[in-house]
Amino acid sequence: MTASPNTELDGLRLETPRLLLRPPRLDDLDAWSAMMTDPEAARFIGGTVPRPLSWRGIMTMIGSWHAHGFAMFSVIEKSTGRWVGRLGPWQPEGWPGPEIGWAIVRDCWGRGYAPEGAIAATNWAFDTLGWTEIIHSIAPDNLPSQQVARKLGSRNLGPGKLPAPFESDIVDIWGQTRAEWRAR
């Protein structure tokens, strides 16, 4: 199965010193699916799912790029060309706000990829999408993501509520305004 190229999205790239952020492609499915079968990596992003549901997840992101002009980026490690996660802007129907989220494959945890990529994605969301605030929905026991949020300058704004099928998940909403981001 091959996908027809979309040259408009194909050219979109954000670069950091170590990462390339680009819209996801069907070619990312194997790595995406592997991350989503890792219980630790998937723990705070909906839990593990089989490959057919990973396919639906990546297609949701690809579709959001086409329908809304934004979604999470695929994170590519520049030194290896390897897909190492997804991160960036995200706001599904009923979500508590415009989110910058992240998920990195477990063997790359601790390298600083989440904050490095999230800084680039946040700048892009404020500069290109015109967002005036960002949030991060983070489980109270997800201490590593809380550390990332703090590195970004976000603060805990209190308990939040996610839409179905995540309505029973307990999350805190972290975030900041564009003015706070610019002042940091």
Domain extent listing, the chain = 17-183
Q: Are 178 and 139 in contact (CB under 8 A)?
A: no
Question: According to the model, what pLDDT value does residue 132 have?
Answer: 98
**Considering only CA atoms, which of 40, 43, 45 is closest in space to residue 61?**
45
Say if residue 158's pLDDT is above 50.
yes
Please provide the distance, in angstroms rounded to a whole number, between the alpha carbons at the two ends of the chain: 46
Largest CA distance in the chain: 47
Question: According to the model, what pLDDT value does residue 2 have?
Answer: 42
Q: Cα–Cα distance between 13 and 22 in angstroms, integer?
A: 5
pTM of the entire structure? 0.93
What's the topology of domain 17-183?
Aminopeptidase (3.40.630)
Question: According to the model, what pLDDT value does residue 6 have?
Answer: 52
